[in-house]
Amino acid sequence: MFTKTLTATTIAASFCATLAFAGSHSQSGNPMVGGAAMFADKTIVENAVNSADHTTLVAAVTAADLVETLSGAGPFTVFAPTNAAFDMLQKGTVEDLLKPANKAALQQVLTCHVVATEAMSAALAGMIADDGGTHPVQTVGGCTLQASLAGDTIALKDERGRTASVTIADVKQSNGVIHVIDTVLLPAM
């Protein structure tokens, strides 16, 4: 999905595109993520590469060969862990997952953060309320996350009992939506 390194040409093109689309960002109402504007007329991949808080996720998506998938038509909901979320994993976990021999495991971890529909936070909150406080969320990776509310914040519990909070919700994309989360969600062992 993402490249680990960007050439000077790509960086320059990205900067020019950012300037060109500044008007569309201000009209979209999208929040800033990782110090970068997020544009509703760009794909998940096109926006994520600009977030300083998601460089580990970008490297992981690239290593897992998911760039093309997450650049597709979607719609997708991506629960996007920050660099700090990856840093909370046991030492060496990220490095091991990024090795070519562990590509299948990395793909499973990443696709457990992706839902094959556009789910805005208000819709998720409604489903949580309709289901009595907890709503199961089926991911592309075969994981079932349990969504609940902690006050006004959406929380997601993975199959290992780890809980992530949505720290930035409803970042609209041309092929779905991103919700930034503070913990990496893991599949059952």
Q: Report pLDDT digits (tens) over 125-154.
A: 999 999 999 999 999 999 999 999 999 899
For the chain, percent of residues with pLDDT exceeding 70: 85
Residue type, 77: T
Length, in residues, of the chain: 189
Confidence of residue 183 (pLDDT cuts 50, 70, 90): very high
Confidence of residue 28 (pLDDT cuts 50, 70, 90): low
| Calpha distance 85→185 (Å, rounded) | 9
The helix (H) or strand (E) run that includes residue 114 is: strand 114-115
| Calpha distance 41→47 (Å, rounded) | 9
The pTM of this model reads 0.82
User: Is pLDDT above 90 for 2?
Assistant: no
User: Is pLDDT above 50 for 103?
Assistant: yes
For the chain, percent of residues with pLDDT exceeding 90: 63
For the chain, the straight-line distance linking the first and the last C-alpha, in angstroms and rounded, comes to 25
The helix (H) or strand (E) run that includes residue 149 is: strand 144-150
Domains of the chain: 8-181 (2.30.180.10)
User: Is pLDDT above 60 for 4?
Assistant: no
Q: Give the residue, 9 or 141, on which the prediction is more confident.
A: 141
Number of Cβ within 10 Å of residue 160's Cβ equals 11
Mean pLDDT of all residues in 157-179: 94
Sign of CA dihedral 118, 120, 122, 125: positive
Residue 3 pLDDT: 34
Return mean pLDDT, the chain. 84
| Calpha distance 146→136 (Å, rounded) | 5
Mean pLDDT of all residues in 25-52: 81
User: Is pLDDT above 60 for 5?
Assistant: no
